[in-house]
Structure 1
Amino acid sequence: MTRNSDRCPSHPGALLREDIIPAIGKPKTEIAALLGISRQHLYDIMAEKKPVSPEVAVRLAKMFGGAPLVWVRMQGAYDAWHAARAVDVSGVPTLFAAE
């Protein structure tokens, strides 16, 4: 099964907002405090205004289980998808290793 390359990967904040935090049933302010980040920082991540940094990824993995790399990869996929559409690479040549 291949992923549609025209579809933007989910921002980790969407996963938090739509699935994880509602399933936990705790207020967002309490989640932010338990994570050791400000309420505004958590809200910005959930609104997809801020990325999940590696430091926050470690905290999310500890709180909700799993590995920090899952969060980092999710953020990286989201960022790379947007960069591939925003950065003009028409003047950058493609180089190949000499044989």
Structure 2
Amino acid sequence: MLTATLRSNRCPSHPGALLDDIIPATGKTKAQIAELLGISRQHFYDIIGERKPVSPAVAARLGKAFGDGAAVWLRMQAAYDAWHVEREVDVSNIPTIRAA
């Protein structure tokens, strides 16, 4: 029988944290990258500041710009979101359904 185990107590990094780490190596400013991505500077700053998630559309743009594909950015965002929701949503009254 498989059982789910509680993930690490360490929160996965928000994709914005990675962006903040890799931007200096590009030689471009945050504003320049936002323009290249076709998103507003404020939206980009909100992602870097971990105030907004990376949407699928932004993930596609980031994946193209950095050459790693949208899935990398989406997986990072999903891991971050899942870690938080597993701690914030009360599911104690929902039974686990098992195959008969």
AA of the residue aligned to 1:60: L
Per-residue Cα deviation, 1:49-76 (whole angstroms, up to 9, x for no partner): 0000010001001101111101000000
Q: Give the match for residue 22 of structure 1.
A: 24
CA distance in 1, matches of 2:75, 2:15: 9
CA distance in 2, matches of 1:29, 1:39: 6
Give the % identical residues: 68
Task: Select which of 58, 64, 67 maps to 1:65.
Answer: 67
Q: Give the match for residue 4 of structure 2.
A: none
CA distance in 2, matches of 1:42, 1:6: 28
1:22, distance to aligned residue in structure 2 (A): 1.0
The 5-angstrom pairing of residues 20-99 of structure 1 reads 20-98=22-100
Task: Select which of 10, 14, 17 maps to 1:11.
Answer: 14
1:12, distance to aligned residue in structure 2 (A): 0.3
* Gap regions ≥5 residues in structure 1: none
TM-score, structure 1 as length reference: 0.92
AA of the residue aligned to 1:74: M
1:25, distance to aligned residue in structure 2 (A): 1.5
State the secondary structure of the residue aligned to 2:51. coil
